[in-house]
Structures are given as structure tokens and as C-alpha cells.
Structure 1
């Protein structure tokens, strides 16, 4: 039977980070309320992939999260490609002299490629938390502390709510992060990575007709100078998801808007020197499509907490998508926070700062490494990484080494180590920090 916790948690944000944390807390009988600014739980973006570490973290949070993932995920179609993460292709020489499709190298792992539509994943996962624990239309304005030590949240709709602790899962533009580091700190705002991406969906039958079943139905990366294209199946193999990245020297026109409308002609112009297989696929996207600016937290956040306020997921370590690991790291955060808060020595409001200090100590270095490494590996895909260039052997080695750091971990052991550190901290007095 769970110990009664004499505190309550406010989760700000209902994307993957906030929702998986809420599910994990609910399963451990830890009191919480989740506040989401939209009218329903929502995620920005379309497809997302999970690596083996993420699946471990799902199971630590709650088995139902893993079941939701399994229900909606799409893997490579070919039986021989079930463990393949991506086939990597020289975009300029993607067809051999006899007309067959050419692969430079292949990277695999224990899970293989898997594609999940963010909204579909959330629709399944949300079934795991009671509706009365969610509040919608709540855009955070500011946080103060009252004379009793309760944290007071004011929202743009004029309402007020209180909690003993606040966990900000409010994404790359996090208000909670600003409350921790200050609105003028470099890490308070996201950074444009000088990459943008066209996103398109292609009916699988059309993609198969263009490049053949094996290339269309399995994950593939086309590598070119200052640009790359990735494709993988979604919607249980009925659709091909295509994302085409381009590096630019120009600024993004509006940092408040992460997307802009684009045209297929613009896409084809950007990638006009690619080989025939890639061009065939690019010609199949809709004439009108979205262009996404790739932002991250390139200025590392100096701390993930202040007093009884902390940040998790993209609010703490928003990353570019080149490792396909950002969402998985959000779930790692949720697993560790839930395990720490559930510890039997965490009983009252006064124990919560030690929880967040431990979480910061155990998570920040790994999470911020991902932000930096994702930028680096994105440059590897574009033959522009320093010391690597267009040497495919070096590119392959870099990808395998860095993917190993991401995936070859034991999340249960990671959480157990953090709990040992938490108990050490709780055995010592910890001075609270006022807002």
C-alpha cells in the first residue's frame, strides 16, 4: 500500500513530458493536478521515434504507456529490417549503375525504427489518468510564494491555483524555465539552429511505385551537403513520413512562430542536386506543405530547479530531432521524478527541494549532452561535421557511438542510483530558496 504524501504537485503542460509524468504519479498515488494551456492534451509536431531507453522509461513510469506505444507505433515493414534504425544513403549516388538502390551503411539497435504519431500516442496515453485531475485553458502567467510556503500560479484567464511544488513540462518556450533562470537569462529563450525542415506525407503505394517496396517501407536517410532527407513508415505502413532538412546562414524570420507555409517547388529547388530516388519521393509530397524551424536550448540551462520549482522534458532540454531521442529523454525525466517523489522518505513539502536537487544532479548532464550531440550528428548527416566531413566510415562510427550512449543504459538502475543520492541529501539539512 502506498504511503500517504502530505504534499501536492502542479504539472504545467500536457505534452509527452507532462502526461507521462502525470500517469507515473497517478500510479504511485502521488497527489497532482495537470494544467494545460490548450483545450485538450496536445503535442506540436507529427511523427516521433523512440529508442530502447525510452521503452525502458515507459515501463518504469507505467506499463500502460508502453502498451499505448505498442498500439500506435509503426515499424519497418520488411522482416529483415526489424532491427534497423536507418539505412544511410549517399544522396547523390542513391542508385547503382545497374539501377538498384544503393546503401552506404546501416545502423541497427534492439528495437529498430518505430514511428508514432504524437497525437495518436497522447490519445491512448490520456486514458490512464482521471479526467478530474486535468485543467485546460491554463496558460501560466507567473509564480509567487505565499506566507505559508505554498506556490501560487496565476494564469492568463485570471484564475489562480496553488501547490506545494511545480514541475514545468511546458515545452521549449517554457514560462516555468523563465521563473527559474530569469526572463533575461540566455537559456530562457530557444535558439535557432540554422536548420529548417519540410515535412510531408506520401501514400505508401505511391512511394513504393517510385522507389520500390524495400526503400519505401523501411527507414532511410539520404545524406547530402548541408541537407538531408529522412523517410520512415507511419500509420501502420499505409503512409510514408518524409522530413527534408536544410542548413542555412539566414535567420528565421519570426522566433514566435516555429512554422511557416511552404511550396513543393521550394523544396525541389533546395534539393535539386540529389539523386533520382530522393527526387522521386520529393516530387510526391503535397504542393503545399509546412516548413519547420529547428530550435533547441543551445544555451544550456544552469539548473533544472529553484526551490520547489523544477523543469522537465523540452522545458529543460529541448533538442533538435536528429537523434530521434528527445521524446524518449522526456520520458526518462518522468520516470526519475516519479521514482524520487514516491520514495518512502519523501513525505512533506519540506522534502521536495531535495527531490529536485537530486533530479537536477542526475539528469542535467545527460540531457544537455543530447542537445549538443544532436546538433553534431545532424551535421554528420549533412557531411559538414568537423573532422568527419564526407567520410562515411567516420559518420557511421559517430552515429553508432552516440546512439549507444543514448540507448545502452538501464533506466531502473539509473533511478535506483538517484534514490540513493536522494536519501543522502535528505539526511542533511537543505536550505530552501524563496522566490
Structure 2
């Protein structure tokens, strides 16, 4: 897949945003031999006190970047435990192709977001002794504008930074998105919010009422019911070597209520118990565990489908391009796939003149898949129309989890940009 790299000049690449997607892109592109600078508005970039699920398709990418699973203090999983919230009945369902994923070393896991962030930071800017130039991270650097044609960003200080590529990994409130689209597009209220916190499970044996947490398959728990035509649900999984339980309670509120409230606000244990008042006692007793992080209520918002993710030398990825609901557990995973794809499409030897065509290739490879996750994640919340696709549930799992973003991008590259292809200038 490599171009003629004799005395090849590395590209100058600007990444806006040092979240999971931005750091993965930095790791992939520095390993391609480029000079990468990351601009992050926060003075101290940390991840919120919550968990994240990294499924097989994201781990195929991260494995190629040198991920050390041991650093994540993770808990592996092979499916889902589905329970009825009112009756308490349920069963474990193992995902297809789990054994192959385990054999390949890409079996899914759950971990603390900060542990994932720290490991990706190591792969992007740390000393990994792999012979590649580490990316440079500039904190406290708020980006206020972007010129996609010039490949430049403007910082709040007034400084203009020019590069060959600008990658907007700056989340749902993206500045780069506005520069690409020429207008402001915001994430819409969906009528869905969630309570989230972490529970201490280091002494789980002291809570016999929670013995059911040791039942079922090695997997997260999806505990749901339909109440007045709307779905209420708990989503749980262990992190930090099973010492913590990630707790998320999904609930409905009107879109009008959401528009009138802050996107994130403080909540209480009593707020959660009132919301799940009809749930079986064994699920309500989860809140007998020590709560080790502040309880927050988060609005779940989603971007509309965008006409484009690219313009000239600039692109958006991750939540900046397709922020959606977490019902498929694929939001961060899509950003990781997109980052890996960029590493393949922009190998050392790519010239600045070739960049716009490569970004067109990125959009061709990634936009349909990102939009699938966006739409299907929202469809999952509607008990009347649980899907807009003709795929069965098992077919969808295979489509999402068995995907190999690196292999797909390499095959595309060989056809369109390989040695036998016409030079794209």
C-alpha cells in the first residue's frame, strides 16, 4: 500500500481535539511517518469518570497501533445479558464470532474512559520506542476557525497554524464542522437522557442481594422495560478489574424539556430511584453499593446526517461528524475505525496535492457506515420501530463487529492509489 517513499516529505497534520478519536488519529498518522500536532482547548485534558466498551471492530484497529490491553485494567466480554426490568428474568446471549475474535486477540472489553485515554495518549505522544516521531499535544489551545482550502486553523490567541491536513476530532460542538459546512449545525434533542455514575464493587460479597451480577455470560447487562410506550433501561458493566461497575440509567423526557435545560446537570440517587420505581428490587438494590463519582444527568443528543464530512484539506470525524445515541456502543468505535482508515489512506509519500483526493476516499469509505450507526442507534430506542434496516439483529452484529477497517482501507487503497493505479494529483 506504500508509495515511493524515497526522500518522502512527511505531511504536516493538524488534529483539533484530544479525545479518544483525535488521539487514535494521531497515533495512526505518526506511525505513517507524518508530523502531527494536536490542539486541545482544555488546559488539562482528562476523560469523565465513566466506562467505555471497546468492541471487536475497534480493537482490530488499536491492535495495529500497539495497544497494550494490560494497561486498560479491562474486563473482557463476549455478549450481552438481557433482563426484563420488572420481572427480573433474563438470559445471556453470546455474540457471533466471539471465539475467532478471542483467538485473534481482539475480543471486546470494557474499561474506564480515562484508562483508554491514557493508553491512546501513550500511543500518540508517548515514548513508545517504535522509531516514529511522537505527536505534539498543545493544551489550552482553543481553535476558533479553520480555512479548509489553506489547511489552516486559527487559535483564540490569533495565531494561524498552516498544515497539509486538518482533522476535526473536536466533538459534538465542533468548530471545524462549521468551517466545512459553511453553517452551524447542532445536535438535536432526542427525548432521551441518562443518569450515570460509578459504583464500588470491590466488596461485592457484602451485598448478597446482588449475587445475580455473577450470573450469565461474561458480558454487560441490558435491563429494560416498556413504560407508557417508552423504554426505560439500565446498562451496566464492570471496569477496573471488576472493582467498579459502570451504571447508566436511560430515561425519557420531552424534547421541549431538554431544550430548556443544560445538557449536563447534577442529579441524586433519589432521582434515579424515582425514575426506575417499577423496576424489580434486585435492580434497584444496585444503588445500595457505594457511589464513587458524582451522579450526572446527561442529555443524549444526535446530529442530523450531514451533506459532507470533507472540504479540500479538512475533514471531521467521530462525534463531530455523527454524534448519536450510545445504544449500539459504537460511537467511539466509529471514531477509532475512522482514525485507522486515515492512517492507511495517507501513507508516507502522500503529497500535499494528493490530500483532497485522499479525503474524498475517506468519505467514500466511512460516511455510509457512520451514518448507519447514527440512524440505527436512534431507531433502537423506539419500541414500535426498533430498526429502519432489513438486517436481522445477528446480521447487524456481524456487520458492525466483524468489520476490519484497516483491511478494508488497504484493499481500497490498492485499487485506487496503488502502484498500478493512475497517479492522483
TM-score, normalized by length of structure 1?
0.82
Partner of 1:103: 90
Partner of 1:22: 26
Q: Does the CA contact (< 8 Å) of 1:39 and 1:137 recur in 2? A: yes
Partner of 1:295: 301
Which of these residues, 323, 331, 353, is aligned with residue 318 of structure 1?
323
Cα-to-partner distance string for 1:47-92 (whole Å, 9 max, x where unaligned):
11011111111123x12xx21x44214225xxxxx52x21100111
Q: Does the CA contact (< 8 Å) of 2:9 and 2:348 recur in 1? A: no
Partner of 1:97: none
Task: State the shift of 1:160 in Å.
Answer: 2.4
Q: Does the CA contact (< 8 Å) of 2:144 and 2:155 recur in 1? A: yes
Do structure 1's residue 427 and structure 2's residue 422 form an aligned pair? Answer: yes
User: Within 2, Cα distance between the matches of 1:118 and 1:426?
Assistant: 41
User: Within 1, Cα distance between the matches of 2:368 and 2:219?
Assistant: 33
Do structure 1's residue 361 and structure 2's residue 364 form an aligned pair? Answer: yes
SS for the counterpart of 2:413 is: helix
Q: Does the CA contact (< 8 Å) of 1:220 and 1:231 recur in 2? A: yes
SS for the counterpart of 2:377 is: helix
Cα-to-partner distance string for 1:73-122 (whole Å, 9 max, x where unaligned):
4225xxxxx52x2110011111xxxxxxx324524352565211111222
**Alignment of structure 1 residues 174-185 onto 2, 5 Å:** 174-184=174-184
Partner of 2:129: none
User: Within 1, Cα distance between the matches of 2:120 and 2:394?
Assistant: 31
Cα-to-partner distance string for 1:197-232 (whole Å, 9 max, x where unaligned):
111222215655132051498521111112100111
Distance 1:342 1:357, change over 3 A: same
SS for the counterpart of 1:180 is: helix
Q: Does the CA contact (< 8 Å) of 2:325 and 2:377 recur in 1? A: yes
Partner of 1:155: 155
SS for the counterpart of 2:361 is: helix
Structure 2 residues not aligned, in runs of 5+:
127-133
User: Within 2, Cα distance between the matches of 1:272 and 1:104?
Assistant: 23
- Matched residue pairs, number? 392
Structure 1 residues not aligned, in runs of 5+:
77-81, 95-101, 389-396, 431-435
Distance 1:132 1:16, change over 3 A: closer
Distance 1:126 1:2, change over 3 A: farther
SS for the counterpart of 2:272 is: helix
Q: Does the CA contact (< 8 Å) of 1:164 and 1:308 recur in 2? A: yes
Task: State the shift of 1:2 in Å.
Answer: 5.3
User: Within 1, Cα distance between the matches of 2:135 and 2:333?
Assistant: 27
User: Within 1, Cα distance between the matches of 2:424 and 2:237?
Assistant: 51
Task: State the shift of 1:259 in Å.
Answer: 1.1
Q: Does the CA contact (< 8 Å) of 2:10 and 2:34 recur in 1? A: no
Task: State the shift of 1:411 in Å.
Answer: 2.7
Distance 1:215 1:269, change over 3 A: farther
Partner of 2:42: 38
**Alignment of structure 1 residues 370-385 onto 2, 5 Å:** 370-379=373-382, 384-385=383-384
Which of these residues, 108, 115, 119, is aligned with residue 110 of structure 2?
115
Distance 1:113 1:202, change over 3 A: farther
Cα-to-partner distance string for 1:332-375 (whole Å, 9 max, x where unaligned):
1011101111064x2x2110001100000110001110111111
SS for the counterpart of 1:189 is: coil
Distance 1:211 1:404, change over 3 A: same
Task: State the shift of 1:7 in Å.
Answer: 3.2
User: Within 2, Cα distance between the matches of 1:325 and 1:73?
Assistant: 20
User: Within 2, Cα distance between the matches of 1:53 and 1:183?
Assistant: 33
**Alignment of structure 1 residues 137-176 onto 2, 5 Å:** 137-144=140-147, 150-176=150-176
Q: Does the CA contact (< 8 Å) of 2:83 and 2:223 recur in 1? A: yes
SS for the counterpart of 1:227 is: strand
Task: State the shift of 1:9 in Å.
Answer: 1.1
User: Within 1, Cα distance between the matches of 2:35 and 2:195?
Assistant: 41
Q: Does the CA contact (< 8 Å) of 2:151 and 2:165 recur in 1? A: yes
Which is worse superposed, 279-288 or 405-414? Answer: 279-288
Distance 1:219 1:113, change over 3 A: farther
Higher helix share: 1
Partner of 1:79: none
SS for the counterpart of 1:342 is: coil
User: Within 2, Cα distance between the matches of 1:294 and 1:365?
Assistant: 22
Cα-to-partner distance string for 1:382-407 (whole Å, 9 max, x where unaligned):
xx14278xxxxxxxx95433222111
Distance 1:254 1:155, change over 3 A: farther
